[in-house]
Structures are given as structure tokens and as C-alpha cells.
Amino acid sequence: MKSTDMARRDREIRRARKREMVLERKSQRESRSAGDYISLLSEHFFYDDERIYNIEQSEDILMLLEAMKDDIPDKQWPNVIRKAVKKTKIKQKDTAIKQLAGMGGIDIDS
């Protein structure tokens, strides 16, 4: 067997393994519940007793909101945001909820 054939076979094996890993990660991500998103969001917040500081600047929070919108039903989105903010026990909850909803394009009033 030529070395080019061996290299091609190795590449194909690596591609197949990578595909399996990607599919595995996708299946794990899709199994997240609303409670998982509440915990993940509250872990990404940088806050003190008054307010959350990194809502507008954090790309991780935006990515979590987008993943949440893909994984859970529409009617649960406002509850996840409210509960994630409530979990931080800050005083300016309404402002944080409005910022998160605006960032994720989520209608809180429904």
C-alpha cells in the first residue's frame, strides 16, 4: 500500500471520528432543559447586590440565549430569563430582565 493511500485512509478515519464527536455534542446540547438554561445563564452573569454588569457585553450569554431558543418551547423563554435573574438575588431585576429579553429578542410581556 502506498503512503498516499495510508494518509488518505488516516484522514478518512479522523473525519469519521470528528463527525461522531460533533453528533455526540449536538445530542447532549439538545437534551438541556429549562432548568439547565437557568443555571447556565446565572453562572455566566457577573453581578453584585445591585445589578448584573455583563449582559450586553457577553457573547456567551447571547450564545446561550440562541441555544435556548432552539432547544425549549417559546412559552418557556420568559420564565427561564426571569428565574435566571431571580437566582442572582439582585435588586434591579426588572432592568436585567428587560436587557436579556432585548438581547435575545424575547417578548417578556406574553
Domain holding 40, by residue range, is: 33-110
Q: What value does the mean pLDDT of the chain take? A: 87
Q: How confident is the model at residue 109 (pLDDT cuts 50, 70, 90)?
A: confident
Other CB atoms within 10 Å distance of the CB of residue 6: 10
Total domains, the chain: 2
My answer on whether 47 and 74 are in the same domain is yes
Model pTM score: 0.67
My answer on whether 53 and 106 are in the same domain is yes
**More confident call, 57 vs 109:** 57
My answer on whether 63 and 94 are in the same domain is yes
My answer on whether 19 and 73 are in the same domain is no
My answer on whether 62 and 12 are in the same domain is no
My answer on whether 66 and 110 are in the same domain is yes
